[in-house]
Amino acid sequence: MENNESTESSTKKSSSSKKERVVVVSTVRTPFVKSFGVFEQETALSLSLRVASEVISKTGVQASDIDECIWGVVIPQTKNANLAREIVLFSGLPTTIAGFTLNKACNSSLQTAEIAADRILLGKNKLVLAGGVEVLSDVPIPFSDEARRFLTKMSRARSFKERLSLIGSVNPKWFLPKPPALAEPFTGLTMGEHAEIMTVKNNVSRARQDELAYKSHINAASAIEAGYLKDEIVPVWTGKDKNIFVDKDNMVRADTSIESMAKLKPVFDKRNGTITAANSSPLTDGAAVALLASESYVKEKKLPYLGYIVDTVTVAVDPNDQLLIGPAYAIPKILKRNNLTKDDIDIFEIHEAFAGQVLSCLDSMNNETFCREKLDSSLFGTIPPSKINIQGGAIAIGHPFGATGARLIGNALRILKRKGGKYAVVAVCAAGGMGMAMLLESK
C-alpha cells in the first residue's frame, strides 16, 4: 500500500478458538449537544465523570474489579494533567485503578478501546473503562507567544524600572486570545479545507453531500423517535444551579429538508466550495465510554453484555493527499485480515466528519484504480446505503472528537442486537491522515 503505514492490534478474530475474547459489557454516553450552548458550564472532567459512574452502576460491576481507566481527549484543558486518573479519583473509584489519557485525534476513543482490548487479551486486565470526551465549550485559549514571553519576563523582572520598561514595549494585540484552530498542523489547512480537497479530487457533488446529510438527520430522528438511543444516553443536570436537565441530543433536525440545505453558502471555500454547515459535523460537547471485559470475567460474574471486539486496525496516509480518507483503507484491510467480505457485514458505522469525506471514502473503495494502486487489491465495491449509519451519524448527532469512537461501538452493537445481525464495522477518519476500523460481533 502506497503511503500507507499501519499498525495492527493483536485482537485477531477467534470466534471458534478457545482463546480469551474481549467483551463490550456496555457503553454510555451523554447527550451530544452544540458547543457553546447548554453544556457551557461543563468540563471534560464533569462529563467524563457522568458516563464513567453511570456505566459502572448500570452494569453492576464491582468498581474494585476495574483494572484501568483509559481516556481520549483531543483538545485537553491545561487544568487536566491526566484526565483518566482524575476521573478515577474524582468519581470516588478505588484509588488503586490506574489511568492514562491519550490523543489520537478523532480516533481517540477507538484507540482507548483497542488498548483496553489488547491488554485484556494479554491477560493483564479483566475489566477496563475505555472512553473519551470533548467539551469545545471549555478549551484552553492561549495567548500569543509574544504575550507569553512578556509575562515570563515580567515575572522574572528584578526591579520596578525593569518592569516599567517591559510594559512600555507591550503591543496590546499580543493579548488577543487565540482559540485552538481545527487545523492539521502539518499542512496548516483546516479539516473543512481538507474535506473540500477530497470532494474535488473525487468529484463529489454538493447534491450528493446534502442528500447524505439529510439522511443522517432523518435516520437519527427516526431512531430517537423509536427510542433506540435511550439505552446509550445518560441524562445530565447542568447549568450554574444544576437545574437544567438534558437527556437528548440537540442537533438532530427532524424538520430539515434538501431545499433548506441547498440554500446554505459554502463555509470553507466560500467561492467554489460545496461544504456547508448542513453537510459538516457540528462543533459538539459530549462524553462516551465503553466498559470492556474479558469473556471469562463476564461469564464468571454472569453479566449481561452487548457483544465482542474482534479486531482493530490503524492506517495512516500522507496528510497532503486526502487527509480524511482513512476508512477507505481501514475497512478493506480489517475485512481481509479476518477473512470476511463486505457482504458478511450487517452494519457499517462510518464516521461522518463531512458528507463529502464519507462519499469520498465510499467512492474510493468502489474505484478500481484506487483499490489497485492504494490497497493492492481488486475492486472492493459498493457498500449498500441500507447498511451504513442507519441511525444517523455525526452530521446529525454531533462529533465530540474524543468521544465519537465509543459512541459508535455502542451504537453498532445495539443495532446488531436489535436487528439480529452478526458483524459490524466501525470506521473513523482522523487528523494526521490517520484512520481506524474496528470489527464487532454480536453476542
Backbone angles phi, psi at 255, to 5 degrees: -100, 15
| 212 counts as binding ligand ACO under rule CB under 6 A | no
Binding-site member from 52, 315, 317, 353 for ligand ACO (CB under 6 A): 353
| 429 counts as binding ligand ACO under rule CB under 6 A | yes
Q: Compute the distance between CA of residue 69 and CA of residue 291 in angstroms, rounded to an integer.
A: 9
Binding-site member from 191, 325, 355, 365 for ligand ACO (CB under 6 A): 191
Contact 32, 400 (CB under 8 A): yes
| 111 counts as binding ligand ACO under rule CB under 6 A | no
The SS3 of residue 311 is strand
Residues in the chain: 443
CB atoms within 10 A of CB 140: 14
Q: Compute the distance between CA of residue 343 and CA of residue 170 in angstroms, rounded to an integer.
A: 64
Q: What residues are paired with 233 via a beta bridge?
A: 29
The grid coordinates of residue 144 equal 500569543
Question: Is 217 in the active site?
Answer: no
Q: Which stretch binds ligand ACO (CB under 6 A): 19-27, 162-170, 280-288, 337-345?
A: 280-288
| 433 counts as binding ligand ACO under rule CB under 6 A | no
Contact 116, 130 (CB under 8 A): yes
| Minimum distance from residue 440 beta carbon to ligand ACO (Å) | 20
DSSP state of 283: B
Catalytic residue among 194, 217, 351, 399: 399
Residue 125 or 411 with smaller CB distance to ligand ACO: 411
Residue 283 or 416 with smaller CB distance to ligand ACO: 283
The count of chain residues that interact with ligand ACO, using the rule CB under 6 A, is 23
Q: What residues are paired with 134 via a beta bridge?
A: 286
How far is C-alpha 337 from the chain's CA centre? 23
| 120 counts as binding ligand ACO under rule CB under 6 A | no
Residue 280 or 322 with smaller CB distance to ligand ACO: 280
Residue nearest to ligand ACO (CB): 353
Show Cβ contacts of residue 226 under 8 Å, excluding neighbours closer than 6 positions: none
| Minimum distance from residue 193 beta carbon to ligand ACO (Å) | 9
Q: Which stretch binds ligand ACO (CB under 6 A): 229-237, 299-307, 411-419, 423-431?
A: 423-431
Q: Which stretch binds ligand ACO (CB under 6 A): 69-77, 307-315, 358-366, 424-432?
A: 424-432
What is the per-residue DSSP string for 275-296?
A: --STTBPPBEEEEEEEEEEEHH
Binding-site member from 1, 63, 89, 182 for ligand ACO (CB under 6 A): 182
Q: Compute the distance between CA of residue 108 and CA of residue 225 in angstroms, rounded to an integer.
A: 30
Q: What residues are paired with 24 via a beta bridge?
A: 292, 307
Binding-site member from 99, 131, 192, 433 for ligand ACO (CB under 6 A): 192
Q: Per-residue x/- mask for ligand ACO, residues 35 to 74, rule CB under 6 A?
A: ----------------------------------------
Contact 361, 65 (CB under 8 A): no
Binding-site member from 89, 264, 303, 379 for ligand ACO (CB under 6 A): 264
The grid coordinates of residue 46 equal 464533569
Q: Compute the distance between CA of residue 283 and CA of residue 379 in angstroms, rounded to an integer.
A: 35
Closest CA to 166 of 185, 146, 192, 141: 146
Q: Compute the distance between CA of residue 275 and CA of residue 258 in angstroms, rounded to an integer.
A: 14
Question: Is 194 in the active site?
Answer: no
Question: Is 429 in the active site?
Answer: yes
Q: Compute the distance between CA of residue 439 and CA of residue 142 in angstroms, rounded to an integer.
A: 39
| 253 counts as binding ligand ACO under rule CB under 6 A | yes
| 273 counts as binding ligand ACO under rule CB under 6 A | no
Q: Compute the distance between CA of residue 410 and CA of residue 114 in angstroms, rounded to an integer.
A: 14
Binding-site member from 261, 358, 413, 439 for ligand ACO (CB under 6 A): 261
Q: Per-residue x/- mask for ligand ACO, residues 355 to 394, rule CB under 6 A?
A: ----------------------------------------
| 164 counts as binding ligand ACO under rule CB under 6 A | no
Active-site residue list = 106, 399, 429
Binding site for ligand ACO (CB under 6 A): 106, 182, 191-192, 217, 253, 256, 260-261, 264, 267, 277-278, 280-283, 324, 353, 399, 429-431
